[in-house]
Structure 1
Amino acid sequence: MREKSLLHMFQGTFPQLIAVLTGTIGAISDGMHYGWTAPVLPTLESNSSHIHLQERDHIWLETIYMIGGITGLPITIFAVDTIGRKGSIIISAFMALVSWILIAVADSTLFLYIARYIIGLSGDVAFVAAPMYVAEIADKKIRGFLAGIIYLMMLLGILIIYAVAPYAPFYVPSIVGSVIVIIQLITFPFMPDSPYYLISKGKDEKAKRHLQRLRGSDDVDKELKEITAAVNRQKSEKGRPQDLVLIASNRKAVIIMVILNAAQHFSSISVMLMNLHEILMSADSIYMRSQNAGILFAALMLLSATIADFVVDKFGRKYLLTISSLLTGLCLLVLAVYFTFKNCNYDISGVSWIPIVTVMVYAAVFKFGLGIIPIVMTAELFPAKTKAMGMTIADCAYVFFAWISIEIYQRLSTAYGHEVPFYIFAASCILTAVFAQLYIPETKGKTLEEIQFILKGVPFPLRSNSLRSESLSFHATLDNKDNKINSTPEKNSNEKSGV
């Protein structure tokens, strides 16, 4: 029965899968850049390095990557709405290729700084445009699975850089990353574009052709009408930045995504990825070489996220997020308690295996929900007119809280010991589980239109034309009420008549 259910879920979705794989393969390159400093900086700091790092270069090579992401926000908002999701992904791939070339030919830190800044810009565009593209081309029955693929690609990239960089010449990772990006640049331009984006630009016939390619069927009239109705309704909503706060459903989406992105990093994932070797050495865990521990850590994250990606559309977002948050918090609590006993001079030699086991369990349980659900939900919650701005804010929150979590870890672990930041991170995970249960709606099996009704607290109507027309008018009326402070009577009348 389960096999039949799985086959039914994926039936007729092969064109979507190919489009998503080619559209997200560049995330492997992004993952390699994200984990690049951990294995590469020790090589650059060695006496045999052809590039000589100064004392502050280690920190700045990590920070400039995040600065690139933050400064890329205006570019991202402009790109996804002007040249589209597909075009933005292609531009991001070109930027990633330039970054790898700069790293390969670098003979000074200046080249590395420029490359890291460019890839920060590229990653910001890609991780907004790609989830939007996936959510808008995917059938609702596998949208969660397809949305999670970009994270799997990123984790694969982290695994590759951990496995290659410590054992190969400095330029080899650049060759690997460049080949991956070139594959995307060759294949993805031939994939269908987002029907939502095409309809929003008045290209209805082209949208129909691309939707037919994605569904592998000529019978797409019903879905095309639903997409058109959704786009027309969402066009009647204002796409101003302040509407992310003034409209209740948008405000709820922003709150959910900011908190989930904060929760990801306050579960210490960036701290783990960038400081895993140092954490294990501080814990006196000698059961595995740090290079091997890094490879196993990345492999477990990839395996766990892959399993989660297959079951996210079966068990739902809330369930996986809640269980993952609780188990992640438990792992961090165990690690904090271990460091507490160690710093109190207890004899822990007999249990020095605990840190290595704990961080490996952490890798598995974090990526089973907390590490993948936010990226799945990001493209589901915002309506078309504010999706670019909303997802860009979510991406900004992701980068910002990554930096904050690293600062908290570095400062508190130096001043008070490793246990203090890990107690904070453990508490954050518990609060995330509570937040998920009380505030986050379940989006499993829902269309993007249905999700907007859920966020507004409005029952979704039956799908007859008359009822749908009435519901869209009622939906627009709710948005107008949300905006009445900033809308004139004439403008409200025009909006209602345009639905």
Structure 2
Amino acid sequence: MMYGWTAPVVPILLGPDSPVKTTKAQAEWLENLLMLGSFSGLGITMYLVDKIGRKRSILFSSFVTLVLWIIKAVAPRIEYIFVARAFAGAAGNMAFVAAPMYIAEIADQKVRGFLSSMIYIQMLIGILLIYAIAPYVAIYTHCIVGGSLVFIELITFPFMPESPYYLLYKDKPLEAEKSLRKLRPSNCNIEKELEEIKTAVERQKTEKGRFQDLIMVPSNRKAILIMTLLNMAQHFSSISVLLMNLHVILEAAGSIYIESSTAAIIFAVIMVVAAATSSFAIDKYGRKFLLISSSILTGLCLMVIAIYFNLKNFGYSVESISWIPIVSVMLYACFFKLGLGMVPIVLTAELFPARMKAIGMTVADGTYVISALLSLQVYQQLSDNYGLQYPFYVFSLSCFGTASFTYFFIPETKGKTLEEIQFILKGIHVERKSGENDTML
């Protein structure tokens, strides 16, 4: 809800009945402050996920977010909202590092992709909520909704166990065993899985966990290269631009068929449905297939939007085809979330070893934030100075480049344990015993 907040709320703040006086320049800062706050929170995120654990980091992020919804609800001046947006970025950064890490470490490998993708489904539901509620109610009302959801998490999530990987990493084997028993069915033989996790953690503990090892160790270097380029690809497929400026872009398209606020709600619904579909498909069809097909189809949608604005800005009459950008945006919502918008968050939690997980995922999240800022700047500068078509040409070409990179450089991690994935990154061939899903030779 925080991420998609500016799209429906900024028009209200700039309107004549705004509850908080806001200028256009200040409204642009509301977008950038979320990303700047995310970047500034990288250091504390890296520290806390290893110091206090994944579970407590998620709870801390939720508490901060609850306070920020209260500030937004009662803010008398725009400066209060500026502060709330910056801290919301830092809190969101922590959640989007700790939550994927937590899920990857508690999940069985057969459903790890599905469970990890649920994070994005919940994110999209939040965007849908803010799109559907904010344009039609007072500002404090949607703040109550957002605050209530976080409050529910704060009173329920403490009953979940901590990650067994983290507990073994902190030399707490009895607590790790208790955690795994709570996470697995009662008839499950956890001793074998616990021993495998222990072996993996002990091996990974012998590896250095310094910041420079992201570059010096070849397997870590490959992991951070993949995640850096995928995080850049997500934003340079225009997702942040569309989520934060969808109303403005659709109004600029001049469509006479549907209001921008209604189109935004439909856009969010399609993204939720596509993400849910992808979450079921990601462990069946694999990460690479979804990523490649999604990137190509997303790039085609953006190319169509760019060509439409090209024709419109060069004086051609486009009134009879003004439905094209709306249809393209809706197809974009579907194709993006089928792979490009889902697979990277799954891979982020899979590619780094235990010793490097906090550093690697935080750096990857940092590139995610920087890429978001850069994509917003590319959009603002090119559209303001040259025309709305040019940023969409750039974003389209980026998608096609992502498909090529995925095909040649990204390994398939479907059905692999976290330990097997590390061997794959090291270039070590791994075989399974016949009839067994979780044993390596």
Q: TM (normalized to structure 1)?
A: 0.86
Encode CA deviations 1:49-98: one digit per residue, 9 max, x unaligned: 23111342101111111111001011001100010000100100111011
The residue aligned with 2:83 is: 114
Whether the 8 Å CA contact 1:249–1:456 is kept in 2: the answer is yes
Whether the 8 Å CA contact 1:128–1:395 is kept in 2: the answer is yes
Matched, 1:252 2:222: yes
How far, CA to CA, are the matches of 1:415 and 1:117 in structure 2?
A: 28
The residue aligned with 1:41 is: 10
How far, CA to CA, are the matches of 1:323 and 1:194 in structure 2?
A: 33
Matched, 1:151 2:120: yes
SS of the aligned residue for 1:347 comes to coil
Whether the 8 Å CA contact 1:92–1:125 is kept in 2: the answer is yes
The residue aligned with 2:30 is: 61
Q: Which amino acid aligns with 1:164?
A: I
Q: TM (normalized to structure 2)?
A: 0.97
How far, CA to CA, are the matches of 2:30 and 2:254 in structure 1?
A: 28
Matched, 1:172 2:149: no
For 1:12-411, list aligned pairs within 5 A: 32-217=1-186, 219-411=189-381
Q: Report which stretch shifted further, 45-54 or 318-327.
A: 45-54
Structure 2 alignment gaps of length 5 or more: none
How far, CA to CA, are the matches of 1:386 and 1:128 in structure 2?
A: 13
Offset at residue 171 of structure 1 (A): 0.2
Q: Which amino acid aligns with 2:315?
A: N
Q: Which amino acid aligns with 1:134?
A: I
Residues 345, 46 of structure 1: alpha-carbon distance in 2 compared, 3 angstrom cutoff: closer
How far, CA to CA, are the matches of 1:60 and 1:341 in structure 2?
A: 31
Whether the 8 Å CA contact 1:453–1:460 is kept in 2: the answer is yes
Q: Which amino acid aligns with 2:173?
A: D
Encode CA deviations 1:439-464: one digit per residue, 9 max, x unaligned: 00000000000000000000125679
SS of the aligned residue for 1:182 comes to helix
Offset at residue 38 of structure 1 (A): 1.1
Matched, 1:447 2:417: yes
Q: Which amino acid aligns with 2:190?
A: V
Whether the 8 Å CA contact 2:31–2:244 is kept in 1: the answer is no
The residue aligned with 2:397 is: 427
How far, CA to CA, are the matches of 2:105 and 2:24 in structure 1?
A: 46
CA RMSD of aligned residues (A): 1.6
How far, CA to CA, are the matches of 2:320 and 2:22 in structure 1?
A: 39
Whether the 8 Å CA contact 2:13–2:21 is kept in 1: the answer is yes
Extract structure 1 runs of 4+ deviating beyond 3 A.
Answer: 461-464
How far, CA to CA, are the matches of 1:51 and 1:254 in structure 2?
A: 42
How far, CA to CA, are the matches of 1:43 and 1:264 in structure 2?
A: 28
SS of the aligned residue for 1:327 comes to helix
Encode CA deviations 1:180-234: one digit per residue, 9 max, x unaligned: 0111111111111100000111110111111011012362110000000000001
Q: Which amino acid aligns with 2:213?
A: D
Whether the 8 Å CA contact 1:325–1:433 is kept in 2: the answer is yes
Whether the 8 Å CA contact 1:212–1:219 is kept in 2: the answer is no
How far, CA to CA, are the matches of 2:431 and 2:258 in structure 1?
A: 57
How far, CA to CA, are the matches of 1:343 and 1:42 in structure 2?
A: 24
How far, CA to CA, are the matches of 2:111 and 2:10 in structure 1?
A: 40
Encode CA deviations 1:351-381: one digit per residue, 9 max, x unaligned: 1111111111111100110001001110000
How far, CA to CA, are the matches of 2:321 and 2:135 in structure 1?
A: 29
How far, CA to CA, are the matches of 1:309 and 1:88 in structure 2?
A: 25
The residue aligned with 1:11 is: none
